[in-house]
Amino acid sequence: MHHHPIRNALRLVPLALVLLAPAARGGDADALPPAVSNANAQLLSQFFAQGGGASPAVLEYRRKLQEYQEIRGAFDAQAGAYWSQISEKRRGRNAKRRSGQQITLDDYVLEQAPLYNGPKRPVNPEPEETPERPARKPLPVVADLLRAAQDLYQFTPQRPATEAEFKRVYARYALASGLTREQAVRVYSFETGGTGNYDVQAGIEHGGKRAISTAMGYNQLLTTNSVELLAEQGHEFIRALSEKVAQTSGPARKSLEYKLSVLKRMVAHAKSVPDTWSEHEKIGDTAQGWAMHAMVLDIDVGPMLQTHKLLTSVLFARAKGYTRPLSAAELEMMNLTGDGTGLDMVTMPQAMREQVPTSNFFQRGGYERNPVAIRHNTVAKLLAITDARMDSNSNNGGARELAAAF
């Protein structure tokens, strides 16, 4: 026979209350005097506070949970105040930039972000009901992109005969567009480890089996990047491909003409929504966006997409009055964090880079999940580790092959 200590203990409580209560009088058979009622309530309260017959493991869990909640709550209050200050300073810098004012050290939070080092949330020894999480939507991989392009556009990207062919086309277009060999090779080295092919996807490299994002190719474009580049730079892609069509004849020309017609339709669709990241992200999360992303695999359009992922940052810096050539590490900061945030770091004098914490350029959640930004916790240190990674990875085979293509 199984014994249930909690259930049996609960049965004893009413019995204890009955024994403690004096006999009721007269017609108030169902009522207890206030003093007895209060005593009963107090007894019940004590009973449940003491665990209500819970096992020692459950009692220890409750003690640890209370301790965790107190410590975590105090940390969250401290961290909340810190990250509110980060947001406030960022708004202030943006306002000063809009009005052409000089940015100074006072415009940044100079203390490092608080990091939680208290106890972890304890594990409940009793089974808990957990709400069912909706199934995570699987990330598209190359096969999905190709299927979407075929289904929606009856189009299959023309893939290179060899990896070296794609590198040659990319190098030629990147140089003609204004990127330097150093920028292209070092960013490639950082993004892919210096070994990635034109169709490398985040998570499916170096023995990885599962995609962790839609980031693909030499400069790791997301589906949203592909949609955004088609919307904003599509006219340039159409012009370049039209020139190639004009210089081609025979069956190859017919194939290129069809590719151009598909490209024009994709560009028109990308331009059909407001030019914002959130709107492009909505398209990127559909089969339409997957079909557009398939263009990163195409020998003609893919190198243009990869080039403009970096070139837009160079042009953004130039438009903001920053004319000095961007180092590869500076360009990578803009590539990783977004042009506006990246330029904030890039335009900072070296003396300020040594003092300004990296937390100034992150949201709280992103920072707390980023061990690199935490470990290398100033702008100068973050740029230095980026340069060091580029130095190391530039010796790998893919990086040397790309360098030779220039």
pLDDT digits (tens, 9 = 90+) for 117-160: 999 999 988 877 777 777 777 899 999 999 999 999 999 999 99
- Sign for the CA dihedral angle at 380, 383, 387, 388 comes to positive
pTM value? 0.78
As a residue count, the chain comes to: 406
Q: Is 215 helix (H, G, I), strand (E, B) or coil?
A: coil
Q: How far is CA 353 from each of CA 152, 341, 347, 395, rounded to the nearest angstrom?
A: 48, 14, 10, 28
Contacts by 88-94, CB closer than 8 A, 24 or more apart:
89/360, 90/360, 93/344
d(CA 276, CA 125): 47
Q: How far is CA 70 from each of CA 67, 81, 121, 149, rounded to the nearest angstrom?
A: 5, 17, 11, 53
Closest CA to 353 of 392, 391, 327, 371: 327
* Token pair recorded at residue 364: 């709280």
- Sign for the CA dihedral angle at 313, 314, 320, 326 comes to positive
Burial class, 364, CB count within 10 angstroms (exposed 0-12 / middle 13-18 / buried 19+): middle
User: Which sequence spans correspond to the domains of the chain?
Assistant: 56-107, 142-405
Closest CA to 42 of 70, 83, 13: 13
Residue 54: predicted pLDDT: 73
* Token pair recorded at residue 115: 């990091």
| CA atoms lying within 13 Å on the CB side of residue 336 | 22
d(CA 345, CA 399): 26
Q: Which residues of the chain have pLDDT under 70?
A: 1-53
Residue 107: predicted pLDDT: 96
* Token pair recorded at residue 319: 């438009």
Residue 288: predicted pLDDT: 96
Angle in degrees, 0-180, between the axes of helices 339-346 and 301-319, rounded to the nearest 10: 50
Burial class, 190, CB count within 10 angstroms (exposed 0-12 / middle 13-18 / buried 19+): buried
Q: Is 158 helix (H, G, I), strand (E, B) or coil?
A: coil
Residue 143: predicted pLDDT: 95
